[in-house]
Structure 1
Amino acid sequence: MTTSELNRRRFLTAISGATLCAALPTSVLALNDAQAKKLIDKAVVDINKVIASGKSINAMIKDFERIFVKYGDVPIIARSALGPDARNLSKSQINAYTKAFQGYIARKYGKRFNEFVGGKINVGGSRKVKSFFEVKTTVKLRGQAPFEVNFLVSDRSGKSKFFDMIIEGISLRLSEKAEIGAMLDKRKGDINGLIADLKNAG
């Protein structure tokens, strides 16, 4: 793998945190393409600020977690990553799991931001796809050709949120689902063990 390919792969991993996401929504309340684009416009402004902030890695991770919570449908994303096992959790377990998942995502992806100082994400157009909206963005890194990243947005939870991101045909929702599944398998299905692991992972 060339240096350019490695940097590209790392950047895809870095920004995936603001984007990991849930099962496809079954309905849309009142969301339109302009509103979906406006959401991602705001998210991208915040992400670009973090990339260019010059803050310490710990401060960037905290900023990243706030972005994830503000613009991402975290409860649905977390449940999607866990899969059918989420249905068997108590209320306290699902709350603890969601909080642990949120911190795990922030650490795992937020700590990559400082590797991409000088990079930038630009928002393009938006279009309706089935029961959600796809907002296209272009990622530009220093010394590399621009590439497209698509955010998927719905208002299934009652607020406009992104629930997945597609990078060169790869769903970050599905990628993270595989990661969480592997962690749960290692714990032999022990949800409380998974929660403990997530608090230290990333």
Structure 2
Amino acid sequence: MPSDFLTRRNFLATGLAFAGLAAVPGKLLALTESGARNLVGSVVNDINKVIGSGKSESAMIRDFENIFVRYADVNIMARYALGVDARRASKAQLKAFSGAFQGYIARKYGKRFREFIGGSVEVKSARKIKAGYEIKSLAKLKGKAPFEVTFLVSDKSGRDKFYNMFIEGVNLLLTERTEIGAILDRNKGDINKLTAELKRLS
């Protein structure tokens, strides 16, 4: 896979991580096109403020985690990342995993942000879909050709959230689930060991 694509994937996976990855079963609430567009803009603006703040890397990562908590349905995202194994996890295990996963995402992708200072993501169009809205955007990074990013937005969790993102056809929600699954396999299916490893990983 080309290195440029991996760089793009890392950048946009950050947006995914901080915005929220999974929808929740339930009736669609009053999400509007304007609301979906505004959510995309809010996430991008908050991230841009952090990368332009001049703070240390560790301080920026803390800020990224706060953004993640603000915009993501962390518990639902963590359950999706665990896949079918979430069904056998206790409430205490799910809570611990969610906390570890939250920090893991902030560290993993937050460290990439310095590479994207001066970049931008511009919302281009919105389209109603069954689960909410599809927001198509154009990402522009310094020294890179612009590329399309598609955000899927829903309010099935009770608040407007991103629940998936596609970069040039790549489903990042499934990608993150695969990576977490590999870590779980490496720990022979032990959710407690998975949680402990996530706390150490960046």
TM-score norm. by structure 2 comes to: 0.91
Shift of 1:26: 5.7
Structure 1: 5+ residue runs without aligned partners? none
Measure the CA separation in 1 of the matches of 2:92 and 2:16.
25
Measure the CA separation in 2 of the matches of 1:180 and 1:81.
6
Q: Which residue of 1 aligns with 2:13?
A: 16
Determine whether 1:153 maps to 2:143. no
Relative to structure 1, the CA distance from residue 64 to residue 56 in structure 2 (aligned partners, 3 Å threshold; closer, same or farther) is same
Residue aligned with 2:114, SS: helix
Structure 2: 5+ residue runs without aligned partners? none
Shift of 1:97: 0.5
RMSD, aligned CA: 1.8
Query: CA offsets, 1:51-105, max 9 Å, x none?
Result: 3222211111111111111112221111111101111111111111001000000
Q: What is the correspondence of 1:2-151 to structure 2 with a 5 Å cutoff?
A: 6-20=3-17, 21-22=21-22, 27-151=27-151
Residue aligned with 1:188, SS: coil
Q: Does the aligned pair in 2 maintain the 1:149–1:167 contact within 8 Å? A: yes
Q: Which residue of 1 aligns with 2:190?
A: 190
Residue aligned with 2:122, SS: strand
Higher deviation after alignment, 31-40 or 120-129: 120-129
Measure the CA separation in 1 of the matches of 2:88 and 2:14.
26
Measure the CA separation in 2 of the matches of 1:26 and 1:135.
21
Q: Percent identity?
A: 54
Determine whether 1:176 maps to 2:176. yes
Relative to structure 1, the CA distance from residue 51 to residue 11 in structure 2 (aligned partners, 3 Å threshold; closer, same or farther) is farther
Q: Does the aligned pair in 1 maintain the 2:138–2:147 contact within 8 Å? A: yes
Higher deviation after alignment, 167-176 or 43-52: 43-52
